A and B are shown apart, each in its own frame.
Chain A
Amino acid sequence: MLKLGLVSLTIAILAACGVYGLKNRVQLQERELHAVERRIDEEKIQIKRLKAEWATLAHPERLARLSAQHLSLKPAEPRQIMAISDIPLREQEGVPGPALVSALSSSAASLRQ
């Protein structure tokens, strides 16, 4: 009977220690979780700020103004758009394709004139 009691007491003490340790770990993790959550919130707020800033900086009228100031780009014209299927295949090595031949001959003709 005494033996049973001792065993039970030991188990109870061990369990109490275990529970305390577990609770402690949970509390620590909870604290970490809150810290991470707060960081996530801060990051989210920061992302919102940056997205708004990006939209302001990428405003089409601003880009057009900057492009006119610093670049020599012009609005694309319809003739600059074509389907991929309309582009001739790359010419094989050593064998000039028909497009290259005609381009070369016309440039040669213009040189001769």
Chain B
Amino acid sequence: MSGAPDHRGARRGAKTKISGAALEVRQARARLRLLAVLGVLGFVALGARMTDLAVMSPSLPVKVLHITKPEENQTRRADIVDRKGRLIATDYPKTSVYADPKLVIDPEQTAEALATVLTDLDAGQLGARLAQRNSRFVWVQRHIGDDQQHEIMRLGLPGVQFRTEYHRIYPQRALTSHMIGYVGIDNQGLAGIERSFNRRLTEGLYDGPLALTLDLGVQAVVRDELAKAVERFQAKGGNALVLEAATGALLAAVSLPDFDPNHYQQADEIARFNRNTQGSYELGSLFKVLTAGMALDSGAVRITDQFDAAKPLKMNRYRIGDFHAKKRRLSMPEVIAFSSNIGAAKMALATGTETQQAYFRRFGLLDRHPIQLAEVSTPQRPSVWREINTVTASYGHGIAVSPLQAIDAVAAAVCGGPRRPAYLVQEAGVKAPLKPAAVDQDTAAKLRWLMWLVVAEGSGSNGKVPGYLIGGKTGSADKAGPKGYGDRRLLSSFLGVFPIEDPRYLVLVTLDEPKGDEATYDQAHGGWTAAPTVAAIISRSGPILGLPPTDVAAEGWFRDRLVVGEAFNGRLKKTEPSFAAISNNGWSDGGSLQPAMLSPGGGQGCGCASCSTQG
């Protein structure tokens, strides 16, 4: 005790005694004052903390509250929507009844009361289960209706409780099966977007729905038309893609046969297979567009060149012939328009093996496609690239790629500028980076002209659509069977670009082993089976996308560059029209480039990167 009285001072005298008492009082006052100050300081601190809690940070515990709710214990997933916000996948709340036997007063009566509402309930059995006092959880019935829940609540049974659980459902059913995929029993994504974006969908629950580039309207049109074609031509299956040329956004992707993701367990392996991305096929003559692109772009071939296609080309022990042989010299545009293997092979030989490989790489055909899915095939290409591989690759054999890669490669070829590989999810940070231009704008313009010629005068004339000017390329690949090629099983495709004067969309349809009918003169080629399907898709989806019809003047621009002459068909022994291109009327062969020379509208082709479909 610091303020203890001084006993030695008490012996010294009265005067000191008095002063000692005064000192004591003064010391006591000082102590009181100290205590008072400390007390006030303490209350001020408390007050400050209260103000801080009440005023400064009022809403601290809100999120904690949500996480501790019992129904939030299970994995929930964000919705998946299409580009216009239409629901593709969602968590559907389903309510279940359970009971806590420890809280149930009369098991039998409770069971009977429940059975009056839940009609397919076995009251006796439930009563027995509710009588087991050592258990604390008994399912009464899973997935009851809203009105049933209200009725049970009105019964006011002690110990009977509800639990809302979320089940992944797909309201679009089979429409978007492959790209969306499905989830397993534990709500974890097993295929498609559900699998590749599992983290975003589970952890980013509060970041809103995951928006895809797909347009359900276009998707429905594509699935309908493809299904009609598969049925009509008795094909084993088919697949179709619609790609926005400038941006690389996939608007529709259908693979048939497909499945209902709500009941994916019932689908077999074949139905679950995504032909668009998992398949890798020799796509045949579609590749001639790319062959022409690299031949023109590298300068090895000019659009005015001619190739002798009178006789089949012999290479080593192979003999390369044409399906519809003309047995004459073909102009470069005719090689594409009539889909001549001999001509394409000669173009590829002129281009050279190394250049061809370099362009294939630029087109993205040698690597796995970077689309945001797990189910993506690796292209099959020759291990050693010899001259014969160059020749077969020029018309799409000996190299197998996914249809997605093919449509992306053609988009890169007809658009010219830097572009993004095809993608499905719009969100920032998940798209592959822009790829540098595969060919220059001049080459792209010539390729558009060549694809116009294919539809206007060549093998793709069934791809015409009233209202839009279409460019395209047919492809009919012999499927390799156990006995090699040649048993006339085809993979028939058609790739359409519309409108060709300023490409906005590309459509690829591939049919697996179609059979021709009377209307196609028993022909099963791409030009007879896939081309009309593409035309139907374009004519129905163009208006959905708000695309105005082609300006009539645009066709003039294409016609102006065409030279029609006469030639003698050596096989038919008849004269027929021949098609060549005017070299310098419009596009520059090495000269200076002006936009007006590249497309009828004066644009740079596919230039409409910003005008995404909003219609």
Seen from chain A, the residues whose Cβ lies within 8 Å of a Cβ on chain B are 45, 48-49, 51-52, 54-56, 58-61, 64, 75-83
CA distance A64 to B164 in the complex (A): 34
Q: Which residues of B contact A52 (CB under 8 A)?
A: 87, 90, 92, 169, 171
Instruction: Decide if B169 touches A45 in the complex (CB within 8 Å).
Output: no
Let me know if B588 is at the binding interface, CB within 8 A: no
Let me know if B561 is at the binding interface, CB within 8 A: no
7 contacts between A and B (CB under 8 A): A55-B172, A56-B171, A59-B172, A60-B175, A75-B540, A78-B539, A78-B543
Instruction: Decide if A79 touches B92 in the complex (CB within 8 Å).
Output: no
CA distance A51 to B548 in the complex (A): 33
Smallest beta-carbon distance B330→chain A, Å = 33
- Specify which of B171, B175, B467 is in contact with A79 (CB 8 Å cutoff): B467
Closest to A48 in B: B93
Which of B216-224, B340-348, B513-521 lies at the interface with chain A?
B216-224
Q: Which residues of A contact B169 (CB under 8 A)?
A: 52
Known contacts A79-B467, A79-B549: A55-B86 contact under CB 8 Å: yes
Smallest beta-carbon distance A75→chain B, Å = 5
- Could you tell me which residues of chain B, from 212 to 242, have a CB within 8 Å of some CB in chain A? 216-217, 219-220, 224
Q: Which residues of A contact B86 (CB under 8 A)?
A: 55, 58
Instruction: Decide if A49 touches B92 in the complex (CB within 8 Å).
Output: yes
Known contacts A45-B93, A78-B539: A51-B173 contact under CB 8 Å: no
Q: Is the interface of A mostly helix, strand, loop or mixed?
A: helix
CA distance A56 to B404 in the complex (A): 29
Let me know if B465 is at the binding interface, CB within 8 A: yes
Closest to B467 in A: A78
Smallest beta-carbon distance B217→chain A, Å = 6
Closest to A63 in B: B220
Smallest beta-carbon distance A87→chain B, Å = 12
CA distance A77 to B467 in the complex (A): 8
Q: Which residues of B contact A61 (CB under 8 A)?
A: 175, 220, 224
CA distance A45 to B543 in the complex (A): 36
- Could you tell me which residues of chain B, from 452 to 501, have a CB within 8 Å of some CB in chain A? 465-468
Smallest beta-carbon distance A55→chain B, Å = 3
Question: Interface size (B, Cβ < 8 Å)?
Answer: 31
Instruction: Decide if A80 touches B175 in the complex (CB within 8 Å).
Output: no
Q: Is the interface of B mostly helix, strand, loop or mixed?
A: mixed
Smallest beta-carbon distance B148→chain A, Å = 14
CA distance A75 to B439 in the complex (A): 37
Instruction: Decide if B87 touches A77 in the complex (CB within 8 Å).
Output: no
Instruction: Decide if B217 touches A60 in the complex (CB within 8 Å).
Output: yes
Q: Which residues of A contact B591 (CB under 8 A)?
A: none
Let me know if B546 is at the binding interface, CB within 8 A: yes
CA distance A61 to B90 in the complex (A): 19
Q: Which residues of A contact B91 (CB under 8 A)?
A: 48
- Specify which of B87, B171, B216, B549 is in contact with A81 (CB 8 Å cutoff): B549
- Interface hub of A58, A64, A80, A81 (most chain B Cβ within 10 A): A81
- Could you tell me which residues of chain B, from 251 to 272, have a CB within 8 Å of some CB in chain A? none
- Could you tell me which residues of chain B, from 514 to 568, have a CB within 8 Å of some CB in chain A? 539-540, 542-544, 546-549
Instruction: Decide if A49 touches B467 in the complex (CB within 8 Å).
Output: no
CA distance A88 to B416 in the complex (A): 37
Instruction: Decide if B548 touches A55 in the complex (CB within 8 Å).
Output: no
Known contacts A48-B93, A58-B86, A64-B224: A80-B171 contact under CB 8 Å: no
Closest to B538 in A: A78
Instruction: Decide if A49 touches B93 in the complex (CB within 8 Å).
Output: yes
CA distance A51 to B173 in the complex (A): 15
- Specify which of B171, B224, B540, B546 is in contact with A55 (CB 8 Å cutoff): B171
Q: Which residues of A contact B87 (CB under 8 A)?
A: 51-52, 54-55
- Specify which of A56, A58, A77 is in contact with B539 (CB 8 Å cutoff): A77
Instruction: Decide if A77 touches B543 in the complex (CB within 8 Å).
Output: yes
Instruction: Decide if A78 touches B93 in the complex (CB within 8 Å).
Output: no
- Could you tell me which residues of chain B, from 122 to 175, have a CB within 8 Å of some CB in chain A? 164, 169, 171-173, 175
- The 7 A-B pairs of least Cβ separation, nearest first, read A78-B467, A60-B220, A55-B171, A76-B543, A55-B87, A78-B549, A45-B93
Q: Which residues of A contact B542 (CB under 8 A)?
A: 78, 81
Smallest beta-carbon distance A42→chain B, Å = 9
- Specify which of A51, A64, A83 is in contact with B90 (CB 8 Å cutoff): A51
Closest to A51 in B: B87
Q: Which residues of A contact B219 (CB under 8 A)?
A: 60
Closest to B498 in A: A78
CA distance A64 to B219 in the complex (A): 13
CA distance A52 to B93 in the complex (A): 10
Smallest beta-carbon distance A40→chain B, Å = 11
CA distance A58 to B217 in the complex (A): 11
Q: Which residues of A contact B220 (CB under 8 A)?
A: 60-61, 64
Contacts A55-B87, A55-B90, A77-B539 supplied; 20 other A-B pairs, CB < 8 Å:
A51-B87, A51-B90, A52-B90, A52-B92, A52-B169, A59-B171, A59-B173, A60-B216, A60-B217, A60-B220, A61-B175, A61-B224, A76-B544, A77-B467, A77-B543, A78-B468, A78-B539, A78-B547, A81-B546, A83-B548
Instruction: Decide if A48 touches B543 in the complex (CB within 8 Å).
Output: no
- Interface hub of A55, A58, A78 (most chain B Cβ within 10 A): A78
Q: Which residues of B contact A45 (CB under 8 A)?
A: 93, 164
Smallest beta-carbon distance A88→chain B, Å = 16
- Could you tell me which residues of chain B, from 72 to 116, have a CB within 8 Å of some CB in chain A? 86-88, 90-93
Q: Which residues of A contact B164 (CB under 8 A)?
A: 45
CA distance A79 to B548 in the complex (A): 7
Closest to B223 in A: A61
Closest to A41 in B: B69
CA distance A59 to B91 in the complex (A): 18
- Interface hub of A49, A55, A61, A80 (most chain B Cβ within 10 A): A55
Known contacts A49-B92, A52-B90, A79-B466: A59-B175 contact under CB 8 Å: yes
